[in-house]
Structure 1
Amino acid sequence: MSLLTLHRNHARDLAPLARLLADPDDLALVNPHAAQPFDPGEWAMKWVGERDDETFYLLDDAGCEVGFFALRVGVGPEVRHLTYVFVEERMRGGTGEELARLAEDAARDLGALSITLKVELDNEPALNLYRKAGYEELSRRGGMATMRRDLDG
């Protein structure tokens, strides 16, 4: 299994994300409210367009984009909201813990003291992953669990 590295998307380039989410099922899984097919303009304006939103690509050992996530500003700049998490199917089944660690490191680098996220209640593997990583479930509503993890220094 290859190790993932993180690339902060300073250029706000969404072309790799368009490639990752070319399958309508993957796009619907990551963002059920987004237009089909993937529209970089819509994503830049509506989903990751706030000045303080930061996006990241996960790279495999060959430097190819194999995943994506965004850290949006939560309730104040000291909270980051992890969203739009996606990993290519060939990389699933073992990269979740590494992705969670990389997201936490990225949030710390952005000055966050905690991370929040929402996960579907019927996505048991993701729920278990976040629980194992130390996320606390805050609430359940509309088929989703809201979770938080306070980051240590």
Structure 2
Amino acid sequence: MTLTLRRNHDRDLAPLAKMLPDTEIPLLNPSAKVPFDEMEWHRNWLGESSDVSFYLLDAEGHDVGFFALREGIGPEVRHLTYVYLREEMRGGAGAELAKIVEQAAEDLGALVLTLKVETDNAPAFNAYLSAGYEELSRRHGMATMRLDLEARIAA
């Protein structure tokens, strides 16, 4: 599977709204309104001036995914705040998606990438482990993970 990246310079969430079925909203964000409320999602995932988001495109150029990166402790740390991939794209796309997210973070000047993932989401959790993330902690069903991009660049 080949995915390409399109930076969301306009902070436009309409493509995400089209991709995200109402039935999946409570699974992805139990406190979110249904149907999709663009302002609510904008506040949550693009609320900081340094937040950057991207759309993932399939081989035909259709939007099939979305992710957002937030500046962490200084610009050298980026935190993956949100990632979504259409269901039909999920089987086996974890490694490719991880590489795309890592490259986007590096292009923003990040040396470290962090994220939180639900511990009961085994496919995502295992994809991050396979991509080289280390688990830092677990709390309330969430694992905090970290990837040292600087070490990867040097290798």
TM-score over 0.5 for the pair: yes
The TM-score with structure 2 as length reference comes to 0.92
- For the residue of structure 1 that corresponds to 2:123, the secondary structure is helix
Tell me which residue corresponds to 2:31: 33
CA contact (8 A) 1:31 1:84 kept: no
Q: Bigger shift: 72-81 or 58-67?
A: 72-81
Tell me which residue corresponds to 1:63: 61
Q: Structure 2: any 5+ residue segments left out of the alignment?
A: none
What letter matches 2:143 in structure 1?
A
Tell me which residue corresponds to 1:8: 7
Percentage identity across paired residues of the two chains: 64
CA contact (8 A) 1:54 1:70 kept: yes
- Tell me the CA shift for residue 5 of structure 1: 0.3
Tell me which residue corresponds to 2:95: 97
Deviation string 1:78-107 (CA, Å, 9 cap, x unpaired) is: 111112211111111111111100000000
What letter matches 1:95 in structure 2?
A
CA contact (8 A) 1:4 1:61 kept: yes
d(CA) in 1 for partners of 2:26 and 2:63? 19
Number of matched residues?
A: 151
- Tell me the CA shift for residue 73 of structure 1: 1.1
In the TM superposition, structure 1's runs of 4+ consecutive aligned residues that sit over 4 Å from their partners are none
What is the root-mean-square deviation in Å for CA atoms of aligned residues?
A: 1.3
Q: Bigger shift: 15-24 or 50-59?
A: 15-24
Q: 2:103 matched to 1:119? A: no
Tell me which residue corresponds to 1:141: 139
d(CA) in 2 for partners of 1:141 and 1:148? 15
What letter matches 1:142 in structure 2?
H
d(CA) in 2 for partners of 1:84 and 1:31? 10
- For the residue of structure 2 that corresponds to 1:70, the secondary structure is strand
d(CA) in 1 for partners of 2:26 and 2:74? 28
Q: Bigger shift: 27-36 or 68-77?
A: 27-36
Match 1:47 to one of 45, 48, 59:
45
CA contact (8 A) 1:30 1:85 kept: no
